[in-house]
Every structure is written in C-alpha cells, then in structure tokens.
Amino acid sequence: MPKILAFAGSARSASLNKQLAKVAATAAEAAGAEATFIDLADYPMPLFNEDLETELGLPDTVLAFKEHLKKHQGFIIACPEYNGSITPLLKNAIDWASRPVPGEESLGLICFRGKTAALLATSPGGLGGMRGLVHVRAILEGIGVLVIPTQKAVPNGSQAFDEKGQLQDEKQAAAVTAIATQLVDITAKLNP
C-alpha cells in the first residue's frame, strides 16, 4: 500500500487548493493508498537563508515537514498560482526540506529523490492555475521527483466545490480521481 502525502502550496484557511488536495487524497485512498493530508499553515518556516541555517540549524517545523516527506513515497500537491508561477510558501518549504540534517548526505535530497508526485491547481480564474504548474514541475523534477505527466487545473474554483468540499462537476471530479489513481498505481509499481 503506497503512502501518499497531500498538501497545498497555500496557508489560507479558506484555500481552494487545500480543498482540491483533500479531494485528491480521498481518491488516492479509494485507489488503495494510505493518504495523509497536511496543512503547511501548521509548519510555519522562516524565509530560507543559509546564514540562518548555519547559525540555528533547521527549524523544528522544517524537521517535522521533512519527516512527513520521508515517510511517504508519493505526493499530491495542489498549487495556487501567484503571478504565473509557484507560491513563495511552497518554494520556501521545498528549499528548506532540501537541506540536509546531520548524518544526511549534503544535498542528498533524501525527501525527494525517487518519490512520485501528481500536480493539481485551482483558482477563481478561467485557467485554474495552470501556468504555475509548469514551474512546480520543473523544480520537483530538478530535485529527483518523478512527476506524472497528467495534471489538472480546475477553473472557476470559487464555484467548483459544494458545501461538503467536493467537486460539483462530474468531469472535473473524474479527472482528479484519475490522476490520483494513476499516482497510486505508479507509486505502487516503483515501491513493491
């Protein structure tokens, strides 16, 4: 049973991308994975600064986030788009998690190498956050994550979810389910 970690690149309490990550995590569980959703708001991290790292080491929130990444073979990441790119929150979390703790190989990227990921996005606009996924994909692939080719951006996100947090449009829901299922299948094959 593959272990999948789901999270969004947003700390907003009413984040549409958190809702989307939860929908995908539920679909991953239905496909046979053990899925865990975490909220990056629970892991506040200072802006990455190597001088700060040298002086104080990795913050406790970074260590906790890294532990989640290490314990899971795959990731579902729902990514808001900020000015056509990745959110500062998500980029900062990735940058901190890429740093080694004592005993880890320098730049070993133990949290990322050999892991799989599925990318999703939603936004109130008509493109659904699609432009930012290109940058998230490039960053993750550059640090050793196998990002599945299929991705999904859900447009008009502020109307996309019902009162229970489920996608209202059957085609959108089916597409998210298919991506989560594909991630589970690939992750299982790579981690027999």
Residue ranges covered by each domain of the chain: 3-190
Give the type of residue at 75: F
Classify 6 as helix, strand or coil: strand
**75 in Cβ contact with 182 (< 8 Å):** no
For the chain, where are the E strands, in sequence order? 3-8, 34-37, 74-78, 116-122, 146-147, 152-154
Residue 23: which H helix or E strand, with range?
Answer: helix 16-30
The pLDDT of residue 172 is: 97
CA–CA distance from 186 to each of 11, 32, 123, 140 (Å)? 29, 12, 27, 17
CA dist 109 and 123 (Å) reads 30
Chunked into runs of 10 residues, the chain (192 residues) has average pLDDT values of 97 96 98 98 97 95 97 97 96 96 80 97 93 97 97 96 96 98 98 90
Cα angle 109-112-118, degrees, rounded to a multiple of 5: 160
Top CATH class, 3-190:
alpha beta
CA dist 70 and 150 (Å) reads 24
The pLDDT of residue 57 is: 93
Classify 103 as helix, strand or coil: coil
Burial code (b: 16+ CB inside 10 Å, e: under 16) for 113-133 equals: eebbbbbbbbbeeeebbbbbb
The pLDDT of residue 102 is: 82
Give the type of residue at 177: T
The pLDDT of residue 103 is: 83
The pLDDT of residue 58 is: 95
Crossing angle between the packed helical segments 60-71 and 88-97, to the nearest 10 degrees? 80
